[in-house]
Amino acid sequence: MRLAVSMGDPCGIGPEIIVRAAASGKLGEAIVVGDAAVLARAAAALNLPPPPHVWAPPGLPEGLVELPLGQVHARAGAAAAACVRGAVALVQQGAAGALVTAPLHKAALAAAGEPYPGHTELLQAMTQPPAPVRMMLANDELRVVLATIHVSLRRAIALLDAPLVLETLRITHAALRQWGIAAPRIAVAGLNPHAGEDGLFGDEEIHHIAPAVAQARAEGMDASGPYPPDTIFMRARRGAFDVVVAMTHDHGLIPVKYLGVADGVNVTLGLPWVRTSPDHGTAFDIAGRGLADASSLQNAAALARRLASGQGRSG
């Protein structure tokens, strides 16, 4: 299974972790979509060989190796977006079987004039017609899917309604079935403390979340909830559920990342191809210092191969 690996932001740790993962053999014969000079710089700093297969996609800006590490730059954001688009093109053309993305920086993406706040939204826009997608973070102990992603908390609450939650449950159910879980057990976390306490602390559970769960069950899904968000993740970690659907970004991602950033993998559900990534960001604070850990990228590559080859269960 040949992977297409996008370089990510050239001012972050993406090039470093790609070099480490490639040198370890964990990327196999992956095509790294990025700037050869940037990857060579990272390789020289780590005293490792550069990745053997590097391809510069259309629209890649020049002079990236001149940009200072650890800083937001519009040119770096444009480069990260060009690498993602190029890597997707390789998968769409059949030159690679799955996509693995190194971290990009959302502020750099915005500085480049990109209208997408992150990978998930950019990838969604590249499907025709744009497919409904969701973000999942997974490790060996816990899987979490988000109903809302890169919006303010105020905006996330405003977006929340029964159709959105039901669509999330349908996408989650379909993805886990494709991965070999015949009847996924889906726990749905509430939005408010104590899942609203029968409306005492908020009524989103009553008006939006519970109706979506009921409809999902009517469609044959093993979905239940809404459960209090402060305890449901522990129950899922102990094996009571296969996945938790959370209403907001931090509700869902904090529990997974607390278990270990190096172990987690980000998966985009709903795309017509497999896409995974590390569950960390560009780490500007350590870029170029030789401290970046490639474990999450290596796990993302392994998971991408398993999912693309139909081998099912992960995390």
In this prediction, residue 24 has a pLDDT band, given cuts at 50, 70 and 90, of very high
Q: How far apart are CA 160 and CA 139, in angstroms?
A: 26
Sheet with 54-55: list strands edge to edge. 54-55, 31-33, 3-6, 98-101, 275-278, 265-269, 134-138, 143-146, 243-246, 185-189, 222-227
Write the pLDDT tens digit of every residue in 36-73.
Answer: 999 999 999 999 999 999 999 999 999 999 999 999 99
Q: Report the pLDDT value the prediction gives residue 313, as an integer from 0 to 100.
A: 45
Q: How far apart are CA 107 and CA 77, in angstroms?
A: 8
C-alpha distances out from residue 68 to 11, 37, 136, 181, 300, Å = 7, 14, 32, 46, 27
Q: Report the pLDDT value the prediction gives residue 284, as an integer from 0 to 100.
A: 97
In this prediction, residue 14 has a pLDDT band, given cuts at 50, 70 and 90, of very high
The domains of the chain, with CATH numbers, are 1-133+270-315 (3.40.718.10), 142-258 (3.40.718.10)
The set of residues, in sequence order, having a beta carbon less than 8 Å from that of 72 and lying 6+ positions away, is 11, 105, 107, 108, 111, 284
Write the pLDDT tens digit of every residue in 114-153.
Answer: 999 889 889 999 998 888 999 999 998 999 999 999 899 9
DSSP 194: G
DSSP 180: T
Provide the pairing of β-strand 243-246 with 185-189. Answer: parallel
- Helix or strand holding residue 169 (H, E): helix 162-178
User: Does 32 score more than 60 pLDDT?
Assistant: yes
Q: How far apart are CA 315 and CA 299, in angstroms?
A: 10
Q: What percent of the chain has pLDDT over 70?
A: 98
pLDDT averaged over every residue in the chain: 94
